[in-house]
């Protein structure tokens, strides 16, 4: 599951936004290793192919897009 979160951050590179004129790039919050491990343990309790899992994969892509637009 942890790999899913990390790999999801690299998904769909063709959709990664570049810094355009006037693009707002909010900061990306960092999570500690302990917090990420706790999140993975909690995700493992969810049923396979849960909606929450899909949403977190989308969230990982958004985080990657935000990183790409930062200077």
Secondary structure letter of residue 11 according to DSSP: S
Q: How far apart are CA 12 and CA 53, in angstroms?
A: 17
Torsions phi, psi of 37, nearest 5?
-65, -40
Domain count, the chain: 1
pLDDT in tens, the chain (71 residues): 555 555 455 444 444 444 454 567 889 999 999 999 999 999 999 999 999 999 999 999 999 999 998 87
Torsions phi, psi of 53, nearest 5?
-60, -45
Within a domain: 12: yes
- pTM for the model stands at 0.59
Within a domain: 53: yes
Domain that holds residue 52: 2-20+31-69
Within a domain: 25: no
């Amino acid at each position: 599951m942890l790999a899913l979160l990390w790999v999801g951050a690299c998904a769909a590179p063709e959709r990664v936004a570049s810094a355009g004129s006037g693009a707002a790039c909010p900061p990306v919050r960092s999570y500690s290793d302990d917090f990420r491990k706790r999140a993975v343990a909690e995700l493992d309790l969810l049923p396979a192919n849960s909606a929450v899992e899909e949403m977190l994969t989308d969230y990982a892509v958004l985080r990657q897009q935000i990183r790409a637009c930062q200077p």
